């Protein structure tokens, strides 16, 4: 395992622990996060999004299916699982379990996370929560 994958793993351990100070310390001063909808966020925007998910799904699990490294870029394919215990914006807590395939791509610069891009399927999660129904 190279340095990029080590940093990526450390980052996700900090996310699972909701250790926002450690997360902030891992961000490069010029950090940019692109979310699953293509919106770009700075470090505090990313922290806000992480906080929303760690609050809504406390104790969620990340099972890493595969991790690849190409120079300063780490790619992680994973499965996320959790129970919706607390409200999300517009979605009251349901107590339902969710499982979602997830992909994270991050670029490391100066031993910190410089760029990060998430790919996941929020529609699948919303269906599992009963917020939207599957097409008939």
pLDDT tens, 6-43? 999 999 999 999 999 999 999 999 999 999 899 999 99
pLDDT given for residue 136 in this prediction:
66
Q: How many domains does the chain have?
A: 1
Residue 94 is part of which domain span? 3-128
Domain presence at residue 136: no
pLDDT given for residue 30 in this prediction:
98
pLDDT given for residue 1 in this prediction:
77
- 107 contacts 114 by C-beta, under 8 angstroms: yes
- CA-wise closest residue to 7 among 132, 126, 121, 115: 115
pLDDT given for residue 5 in this prediction:
97
For β-strands 73-83 and 97-109, DSSP reports them as: antiparallel
Alpha helices in 20-135 (DSSP H): 20-26, 43-56, 122-128
pLDDT given for residue 60 in this prediction:
94
Q: pTM (2 decimals)?
A: 0.91
Domain presence at residue 87: yes
Domain presence at residue 33: yes
CA distance 37 to 100: 16
Which residues of the chain fall below pLDDT 70? 136
Domain presence at residue 107: yes
pLDDT given for residue 114 in this prediction:
98
Q: What is the CA radius of gyration of the chain?
A: 15
Domain presence at residue 121: yes
Domain presence at residue 20: yes
Domain presence at residue 77: yes
CA distance 15 to 32: 17
CATH number at residue 115: 3.10.450.50
Domain presence at residue 133: no
């Amino acid at each position: 395992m190279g340095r990029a994958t080590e940093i990526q793993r450390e980052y996700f351990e900090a996310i699972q622990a909701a250790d926002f100070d450690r997360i902030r310390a891992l961000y490069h001063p010029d950090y940019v996060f692109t979310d699953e909808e293509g919106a770009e966020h700075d470090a505090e925007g990313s922290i806000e999004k992480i906080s929303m998910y760690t609050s809504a799904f406390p104790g969620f699990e990340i099972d890493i299916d595969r991790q690849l490294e190409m120079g300063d870029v780490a790619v992680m394919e994973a499965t996320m699982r959790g129970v919706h215990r607390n409200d999300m914006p517009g979605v009251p807590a349901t107590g339902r379990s969710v499982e979602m395939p997830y992909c994270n791509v991050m670029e490391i610069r100066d031993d910190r996370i410089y760029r990060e891009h998430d790919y996941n399927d929020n529609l699948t999660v919303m269906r599992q929560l009963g917020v939207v129904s599957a097409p008939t």
